[in-house]
Structure 1
Amino acid sequence: MMKKAIQIPLKVESLEAALLRLSKNYVKRPRVEQELGKAKAGYFGEKSIDYYLKDFSSNHFHILHDLRLRIANDNFFQIDILINTPNCLLIIEVKNYVGSLYFDGNFKQLIREKNGVEEGMENPIPQVINQQRKLKKWLNINNLPSLPIIPLVVIANPTTIIKASSDYKEALEMVYLADNLPAKILSIQQTFNTRRKIIHDLDSFSDHLINCHEPKKVDILEQLKVPESAILTGVHCPNCSALPMERKKGSWYCPKCLFESKEAHIPSLKHYYLLLGKTITNQKLRNFLHLPSPYTASRILKSMNLKYTGSTKFRQYELHF
């Protein structure tokens, strides 16, 4: 049963918004494109695993995507996929690596060969073992049942070749191609089904985990050291991607492709939300959408039914998407 479905990551949305609002010749545009490619690969890799989990739809399997839990203060850990059962938990770390992978037992290192070039890659095995340790600690802190936690690494790309040295026990036991995942889950289920049920109310257990999920805040401009001044303003044309559209008689008009829309400002305000901040004032909205009229800006803000704080002159509106 899918209890927490995968969603397009905030990082992907933020990077896409940045590309729409950076000039074609901006010096850091290639870096943004590179980061977006990596983020999308991770997202599509994780999303593809749902195909292999579709047969585990019973109430005895609760599937949770992208769970981020707090251990203490600013100490968080994140799990790609968590599968809850009454007898055990499965942590799945998904990697969408391409090429030929070799897990070296001597140095606990992952080496990839792609197009004849070897390079060291982040080894997901210590990563998922660390998640296992932190989840065990989190369950203890929250007075939840202590039960076996099985860490797995799944390589999403079906063309990837996986090899491991014979002495790298963790790699041989934990790493699987995606199409082998269902058989591994069934094997684990058979092993633990003979044991005493530890979680009697799986719904409550999974719901508690979901309620404790804290999404990671993403500030793409800060991460990539892109100044706000580099962000192009104006209403973005949803038809041809041109900037800016013009406001005419209650609608937005694109002088490039002649497209008209009454709601074109909504995606542009989402760009503001993703890149510049979660709150906005009448003045900031006018500057961003190229609106000369405070009255028109006020009407747009009121039509969005946003929460706000402060008096009329200094009112801050909370954007929500």
Structure 2
Amino acid sequence: MIYKHRTKPRLLSGLLALEKRLSPTHEKYDYIKSELYKIRAGYGGEQEYDRYMKEVRTDYPHAILHDLSLQHEGVHFQIDSLFITPDTIIISEVKNIADKIFIKANPTQFMKQLPDGSRLLFRSPIAEVERKIQFLEQWLASRNIVVTVKGLIVFAYNNEMFIEEKPSMKVITAYEAPTYFRSLTPQNESLESRDIAEIAKTLARGHTEYNPFPITARYKIGERDIRGGVFCSECEIPTIMRWSELRWYCSVCGVREIGSHQSAVIDWFMLMSSPLTNRKFCEFTGITSRHTAKRMLARSDIQKQGKGRGSRYTSLT
């Protein structure tokens, strides 16, 4: 049973907004594009894994949780996927790498083969999982939950893998996941079905959504470099709309909409560290009437603080 599903990463949403509002000539534009590609690819790989995990059927009770973000003694750690059996908790680290993979041990090395035939070493996912195992064991122990925690490395797609030396942790592809979990035979069934369910619920309650906002502060980009405007939802190339006759109007595709500014408000809270005010909303969206801006903000899913010119707006999420 799946106790927690995966959701779109906030960082991905923030980077999409940043790419749209950052000039292609900005010194960090190419870096932001590469970050966006990496996060989007990682999320795509995790979704591929989740698709196969829906096929898991076992003779023993189990629980599945995707995308857990936990905290222990001030340390945040993120788990791609977690599988609970009657005797073990298995952390899955999902990797989205399309190249040929070469794996060696002593010392552990993971390499991918580039188009020119050369090999590039990348950070060992085993080391990443071992760190997460340590923190999860401590997190569980602090709640009087004692259970063995193991790791699993999963490549999202059917990579051509060459295991030159057997690593210390199991390595599979997402396609193999249903068969792998079905083949497990719990030896010491210390956890009954209700215990597994309770641990899964405890983990789900402990999840704290990672908040990467404001994105400009994260990537050290000046707020003055962020392009304002309300963008058309229909045009593939970002096109700025204008407010006319009680509607947002796109001069390119001709669409007329009422609530297009809502996405601009969302972008503001993802990108900016400064508080949103009526004046800044006007500057950001191109609205010329502060009374119109006030009505728009009042209908938005945000919270107002203060009165008059001292009013500030904060996000509810």
1:104-161, CA deviations, whole angstroms, 9 ceiling, x for partnerless residues?
2132221211211211101101111111111111101122x21121210000121x22
Which residue type is aligned with residue 122 of structure 2? M
Distance (Å, rounded) in 2 between the aligned partners of 1:37 and 1:124: 20
- Structure 1 partner of 2:160: 161
Distance (Å, rounded) in 1 between the aligned partners of 2:215 and 2:303: 25
Which residue type is aligned with residue 127 of structure 2? P
Cα 1:132–1:278 change in 2 (3 A) is farther
Q: Post-superposition shift, 1:319? A: 2.1
Q: Is the 8 A contact 1:98 1:114 kept in 2?
A: no
- Which stretch of structure 1 is more off in the superposition, 127-136 or 238-247? 238-247
Q: Which of 191, 203, 218 is the aligned partner of 2:186?
A: 191
Q: Partner of 1:247: helix, strand, or coil?
A: strand
Q: Which of 171, 174, 181 is the aligned partner of 2:177?
A: 181
Distance (Å, rounded) in 2 between the aligned partners of 1:319 and 1:278: 12
Distance (Å, rounded) in 1 between the aligned partners of 2:197 and 2:287: 49
Q: Post-superposition shift, 1:267? A: 1.3
Distance (Å, rounded) in 2 between the aligned partners of 1:262 and 1:302: 14
1:161-198, CA deviations, whole angstroms, 9 ceiling, x for partnerless residues?
222333x441xx4111112222221232x234x62325
Q: Is the 8 A contact 1:6 1:66 kept in 2?
A: yes
Q: Post-superposition shift, 1:298? A: 1.1
Q: Does the alignment pair 1:202 with 2:196?
A: yes
Cα 1:263–1:41 change in 2 (3 A) is same
Q: Is the 8 A contact 1:278 1:320 kept in 2?
A: no
Q: Does the alignment pair 1:230 with 2:231?
A: no
Q: Which of 217, 224, 228 is the aligned partner of 2:211?
A: 217
Q: Post-superposition shift, 1:11? A: 1.3
Which residue type is aligned with residue 67 of structure 1? L
Distance (Å, rounded) in 1 between the aligned partners of 2:308 and 2:64: 46
Q: Percent identity?
A: 27
CA RMSD of aligned residues (A): 2.1
1:71-128, CA deviations, whole angstroms, 9 ceiling, x for partnerless residues?
112x111100012234321110000112121222132221211211211101101111
Distance (Å, rounded) in 1 between the aligned partners of 2:53 and 2:274: 35
- Structure 2 partner of 1:239: 234
- The within-5 A match list for 1:34-45 is 34-45=34-45
Q: Is the 8 A contact 1:236 1:244 kept in 2?
A: yes
Distance (Å, rounded) in 2 between the aligned partners of 1:112 and 1:125: 15
- Structure 2 partner of 1:87: 87
Q: Post-superposition shift, 1:226? A: 2.2
The TM-score, its normalising length taken from structure 2, stands at 0.91
Distance (Å, rounded) in 1 between the aligned partners of 2:167 and 2:149: 17
Q: Post-superposition shift, 1:279? A: 4.8
Which residue type is aligned with residue 238 of structure 1? S
Name structure 2 gaps, 5 residues minimum.
none
- Structure 2 partner of 1:131: 132
Q: Which of 297, 308, 312 is the aligned partner of 1:312?
A: 308
**TM superposition outliers: structure 1 runs of 4+ over 6 Å:** none
Q: Partner of 1:234: helix, strand, or coil?
A: coil
Q: Is the 8 A contact 1:105 1:164 kept in 2?
A: no
Q: Is the 8 A contact 1:252 1:261 kept in 2?
A: yes
Q: Post-superposition shift, 1:293? A: 1.4
Distance (Å, rounded) in 1 between the aligned partners of 2:5 and 2:271: 25
Name structure 1 gaps, 5 residues minimum.
none
Q: Post-superposition shift, 1:250? A: 1.5
- Which stretch of structure 1 is more off in the superposition, 125-134 or 269-278? 269-278
Cα 1:96–1:308 change in 2 (3 A) is same
Q: Post-superposition shift, 1:295? A: 0.9
- The within-5 A match list for 1:31-110 is 31-56=31-56, 60-73=61-74, 75-110=75-110
Distance (Å, rounded) in 2 between the aligned partners of 1:239 and 1:37: 23
Cα 1:249–1:57 change in 2 (3 A) is farther
Distance (Å, rounded) in 2 between the aligned partners of 1:278 and 1:148: 46
Which residue type is aligned with residue 105 of structure 1? A
Q: Post-superposition shift, 1:278? A: 8.6
Q: Does the alignment pair 1:13 with 2:5?
A: no
Cα 1:65–1:178 change in 2 (3 A) is same
